Amino acid sequence: MAAMKNPKIGVVLFPGANCERDTIHAASLLPGASVRHIWHKDTSVGNLDVVFLPGGFSYGDYLRCGAIARFSPVMRSVVEFAEKGGIVIGICNGFQVLTECHLLPGALLMNESRKFICKNIHVRVERNDIPATRALKKGDVLKLPIAHGEGRFYAPPETLQALEANGQVVVRYCDQSGNITREANPNGALNNIAGICNERGNVFGLMPHPERAAEPILGNTDGWGILQSLLM
Amino acid sequence: MKTVEVTLQTALDHKLTADEYELIKKHMGRNPNLLELGIFAAMWSEHCSYKSTRVHLRRFPTTGKYVVQGPGENAGVVDIGEGLTAVFKMESHNHPSYIEPVQGAATGVGGILRDVFTMGARPVASLDCLRFGHPTHEKTNYLVGGVVHGISHYGNCIGVPTIGGSTRFHECYNGNILVNVMNVGIAPRNKLFFGHASGVGNKIIYIGSKTGRDGIHGAVMASDSFGDESESKRPTVQVGDPFTEKLLLEACLEIFEAGIVEGIQDMGAAGLTSSSFEMASRGGSGISLHLDRVPAREELMQPYEFMLSESQERMLAVAKPENEQKVIDILKKWDLEAATIGEVEAGHKNVRLYFHGELVADMPVSPVVDAAPKYERPMQKPAYLAQTSAFNTASVPQPADINETFYTLAGSLNLCGKKWITEQYDTMVGINTVFGPGHDAAVLRVQGTKRGLAVSAGCNERYVYLDPYVGGMIALAECARNVACTGALPIGATDCLNFGSPMNPEIMWQFSQSVDGISAACTALEVPITGGNVSLYNQTGDAAIFPTPMIGVVGLFENVENAVPSFFQDAGDILLLLGDDLGEIGGSEYLKTIHGHDAGLPPTLDLKKEKALIEILRELADKRLVKSAHDISEGGFAIALAECSLQKRLGCAVDIKTPLRPDFALFSESQSRVILSVLPENRDAVAALIKKRGVPCEAIGVTGGNSVAVVINGVLALDAAVERFVTLHKTSFEKTLFPG
């Protein structure tokens, strides 16, 4: 894919999403980017290069996380956009929505501790050839915040095997030095999986919040590389 | 509607006194009907009228350079520059949280959030101040788990970070926990909204969730005129829905942005009653409401129920007729209920309630809102004080092993880390969190500016118990000091005054003394009270809680990049100790945890010294001369030093000379003391600036190493391993409360 100048970015606003303003703010820091929100009742995402599904509690998450958002009018258009090769990035609740609408395999289950967890964790970059990680190096260790109650990645054995075989795991929970350990896994995710992509690499979902780690004043800029990748 | 004749007994059943009932009849010029009586009872309740405390609350200093709105509105407002304001308040939800911890705490969060966003502000941070009973009490860990879950669920879902507060334990809270939540929002100064209903012909619009029968007080549900018995026995704790509140928040902010409402108020305590009467009162207007037009969740609801329900996530707005449809359209966009239920009327100053066209209540606004009796309850100095203040701290035995004493304190529930709680809160959503939980104060940036806010909330209730005046002073001063430690200027405060029964003269004395102590500190430190809340009757039988006037202070940074962390940053930095250690052990965690006494006199506080300390902390931060600043509070010097080591696991070597006993020197809680770390090359310049302000300052050591080592008068008195401290800090909370 050619380098993207002045990317047109949309952030879907589901009712109950609560990271949409953060995501818009962080994406707007990209030089040349134009960023707007996409209302969940819209039937088309319009002319965009990148669609973000932000974090939050879409529709209150009273059923399964992301299970209702999947049926919102805009999602049909998001799926079409992805099928045409458009870049779709789901963060936290957005990742859950992506699995619910089958743009990504697997599911996000309740954390092993059965509690909501908010803290900084580390992830290791497993591949840097997809649009969302091109500015990073394979093996980079990023410190990123997580904030979720249901982030334990799960997939049936054959799906998991296929994911690994295809190299669809993009980021994995690790310790500060990049070792994949049990202790470094905050929620019990299978194979320490923090984020995956589809086979084509244009759809990427992750539990950590890069948009919360993109400015020096917030004490952490490790998420910036993921955003910056969109310009490359 | 069946007509029930109102008698003195009905009034008593509504918790009104015979005198109050006579007064109501006088104001009405007739016998009230049941609905009218219910409205009076709610509005004249302690909760809504502050009838026992108003005579004291008026002594709070409430004005100042930064104050835009003082007490009397939904929340206080201070100017933070560049056309922006901070809107904030703290409120209690103690009783509901004891009965049903998850929903009680959750709706507490929801309520205070509405108070803030109803002013036109986007909420940016919550802080929770929690008090629980003894860890071994049978209900304590159940209540801790439930309350934290409730706060976490509501706050995380609505997307407002919970970034600070305080959690403490004492057996006085065994039967009465405290759940106080503070919220801070940001609003443009020229787009603040107030709870006024005015402008004849303007429409009164009901917004938000439908009204159900939840939250109608059991005490007030004294009549059987509502048909089915079982219907009247519904739980009185409301159920919160953060999803609806999130929609309500976004819809309201969109309405404010469009500038299409004249006034708006949250339906909090006493629901539609308080919102409608208070808005009419502030607007100096008469209004009519048609209760059959209120969106109802249940069938056959009666006017009494509509007026007194405390269903959550509801607001009342007033809009010009030409804007009525625009308001309703925005609510529809967000899939929320909206209904025009009345209007501002000419020719009278009453609230007139109609039900299917029939006038069911006609009440003059002013008596209901303003004429509740103001009681000067009798006061008496508590008998226990003679005993507690006579306690001779010198009689306390010296511990055989100071290191073990230190570790015991470090692992005690009040002093250990609270990550078990704070990691269940989303502390970063909103991307404004510069410092989250763990620092002296939470720090937020203000988006679109270089500015920032620091917020600290808490209260040492043992100090207040042992001397309510001094304890009140310290509560305010410590929050202000915490804010100043991060480098911010404290500019405004809110309070949440939790006490026992006002009918007990000793409690009223505690209350009055605390108000005076807080007021003295507000005046001296130039931090006015801009709003707050009173919670009385926090007692089981005759056993009242320790008086707990919780305080929250907001501070301002002109440049938030100057914010100073509370933790040592690098090895080799010089440690400076500001302030004097007077060896004050009375009321300390050391005296309680190690020796088992809630006794002695609390530490003294010199407000002039405190003011000078706050000013120098700010100056040093502005000049970027300090690398860390941490206030010495519960646990004293030793615990404060160890806490500085937490973030980077960086110890220190300290050498001091003192005439005090080693245990007193290490664990005294003398006030107005701060530990700074500075670059070696800045040491002399910083010390000179500090001394110029008249603040005592001494270089006491250097950062580095893997232990917190304190030499006193040439002898190694404390040698605590940082790793062991960190482990105790991290694990003690869960180990104590949720073993196995």
Express each pLDDT in B254-264 by its tens digit.
Answer: 999 999 999 99
Q: What residues have CB less than 8 Å from B329, skipping those under 6 apart? A: none
Strand order across the beta sheet in which A141-148 lies:
A34-39, A8-13, A50-53, A87-91, A203-206, A193-197, A169-174, A117-125, A141-148
Distance from CA of A59 to the nearest CA of B (A): 7
Cβ contacts of A57 on chain B, cutoff 8 Å: 156-157, 159, 242-243, 246
For A60, the closest of B243, B426, B433 (CB atoms) is B243
Q: Which residue of A has its CA nearest to B245?
A: A16
Give the residue numbers of B annotated as catalytic, written as ranges. Answer: 47, 93
B61, B92, B45, B114: which is closest to B533 by C-alpha? Answer: B92
Cβ contacts of A73 on chain B, cutoff 8 Å: none
What domain range is A161 assigned to?
8-231
The answer to whether position A3 is within a domain reads no
Contact check, Cβ <8 Å, B426/A116: yes
Q: Using CA atoms, how far apart are residues B397 and B594, in angstroms rounded to an integer?
A: 10
Distance from CA of A18 to the nearest CA of B (A): 5
For A117, the closest of B335, B423, B430 (CB atoms) is B423
pLDDT at B389: 97
Q: Which of B152, B243, B453, B737 is the mutation pick for testing A, counting most A CBs within 10 A?
A: B243
The two structure tokens encoding residue B305: 């129920």
Contact check, Cβ <8 Å, A219/B434: yes
Q: Are B91 and B397 in contact (CB under 8 A)?
A: no
Number of cross-chain residue pairs from A and B with Cβ atoms under 8 Å apart: 82
Contact check, Cβ <8 Å, A218/B434: yes
For A119, the closest of B157, B423, B431 (CB atoms) is B423
Percent of chain B at pLDDT exceeding 90:
90
The two structure tokens encoding residue B476: 């305010």
Q: Which of A11, A13, A14, A18 is the mutation pick for testing B, counting most B CBs within 10 A?
A: A18
The answer to whether position A2 is within a domain reads no
Q: Calculate mean pLDDT across residues A75-94.
A: 96
Q: Are B595 and B506 in contact (CB under 8 A)?
A: no
pLDDT (tens digit per residue) in B563-578: 999 999 999 999 999 9
Contact check, Cβ <8 Å, A119/B335: no
Distance from CA of B31 to the nearest CA of A (A): 47
This prediction has a pTM of 0.95
Tokens 């296929």 found at: A162
Confidence class for position A3, pLDDT limits 50, 70, 90 = low
pLDDT at A64: 74
pLDDT at B233: 42
Contact check, Cβ <8 Å, A118/B434: no
pLDDT at B235: 55
pLDDT (tens digit per residue) in B32-57: 999 999 999 999 998 889 999 999 99
| Number of domain units in chain A | 1
Instruction: Give the DSSP H/E element, type plus range, for residue B8.
Output: helix B8-13
For B426, the closest of A26, A147, A219 (CB atoms) is A147
End-to-end CA distance of chain B: 57
The two structure tokens encoding residue B674: 């701060």
Amino acid at B670: S
pLDDT (tens digit per residue) in B397-440: 999 999 999 999 999 999 999 999 999 999 999 999 999 999 99
Interface of B with A in 327-356 (CB under 8 A): 334-335
Q: Using CA atoms, how far apart are residues B725 and B407, in angstroms rounded to an integer?
A: 7
Q: pLDDT at residue A191 above 60?
A: yes
For A18, the closest of B152, B158, B425 (CB atoms) is B158
Q: What residues have CB less than 8 Å from A54, skipping those under 6 apart? A: A11, A12, A13, A17, A18, A19, A20, A22, A23, A91, A92, A93, A94, A211
Task: Supply the CATH number for residue A121's domain.
Answer: 3.40.50.880
CA dihedral over B499, B501, B506, B512, signed as positive or negative: positive
Q: Are B242 and B160 in contact (CB under 8 A)?
A: no
Give the residue numbers of A annotated as catalytic, written as ranges. Answer: 92, 209, 211
Contact check, Cβ <8 Å, A118/B426: yes
The answer to whether position A120 is within a domain reads yes
Q: Which of B426, B486, B564 is the mutation pick for testing A, counting most A CBs within 10 A?
A: B426
Q: Is B216 helix (H, G, I), strand (E, B) or coil?
A: coil
The answer to whether position A1 is within a domain reads no
Interface of B with A in 437-456 (CB under 8 A): 445, 447
pLDDT at B230: 38
Q: What residues have CB less than 8 Å from B414, skipping those under 6 apart? A: B168, B169, B589, B593, B634
Cβ contacts of A212 on chain B, cutoff 8 Å: 428-429, 431
pLDDT at B1: 44
Percent of chain A at pLDDT exceeding 90:
90
Q: Which residue of A has its CA nearest to B334?
A: A15
Q: Which residue of A has its CA nearest to B159?
A: A18
pLDDT at B196: 87
The answer to whether position A62 is within a domain reads yes
- How many angstroms separate the Cα of B97 from the Cα of each of B103, B167, B541, B700? 7, 15, 18, 46
Contact check, Cβ <8 Å, B427/A15: no
Contact check, Cβ <8 Å, A56/B152: no
Q: Which of B431, B433, B444 is the mutation pick for testing A, counting most A CBs within 10 A?
A: B431
CA dihedral over B153, B158, B163, B167, signed as positive or negative: negative
Distance from CA of A67 to the nearest CA of B (A): 15
Cβ contacts of B336 on chain A, cutoff 8 Å: none
The two structure tokens encoding residue B645: 């080591």
For B429, the closest of A18, A26, A217 (CB atoms) is A18
Q: Using CA atoms, how far apart are residues B246 and A57, in angstroms rounded to an integer?
A: 10
The 3-state secondary structure of B354-403, one letter per residue? EECCEEEEEEEHHHHHHCCCCCCCCCCCCCHHHHHHCCCHHHCCCCCCHH
Interface of B with A in 243-262 (CB under 8 A): 243-244, 246-247
CB neighbours of residue A202 within 10 Å:
22
Contact check, Cβ <8 Å, A22/B431: yes
pLDDT at A77: 95
Q: Using CA atoms, how far apart are residues A107 and A155, in angstroms rounded to an integer?
A: 6
The 3-state secondary structure of A54-92, one letter per residue? CCECHHHHCCCCCCCHHHCHHHHHHHHHHHCCCEEEEEC
Contact check, Cβ <8 Å, B434/A217: yes
Strand order across the beta sheet in which B358-364 lies:
B263-266, B314-319, B203-208, B337-345, B286-290, B350-355, B358-364
Percent of chain A at pLDDT exceeding 70:
99
Task: Please list the alpha-helical segments (H only) found in B461-531.
Answer: 461-466, 468-485, 505-525
Which residue numbers in chain B have pLDDT < 70? 1-3, 217-237
Cβ contacts of A61 on chain B, cutoff 8 Å: 157, 243
The answer to whether position A67 is within a domain reads yes
pLDDT at A66: 77
With an 8 Å Cβ cutoff, is B364 touching chain A?
no
The answer to whether position A22 is within a domain reads yes
Q: Are A226 and A30 in contact (CB under 8 A)?
A: no
B497, B459, B452: which is closest to B478 by C-alpha? Answer: B459
Distance from CA of B423 to the nearest CA of A (A): 5
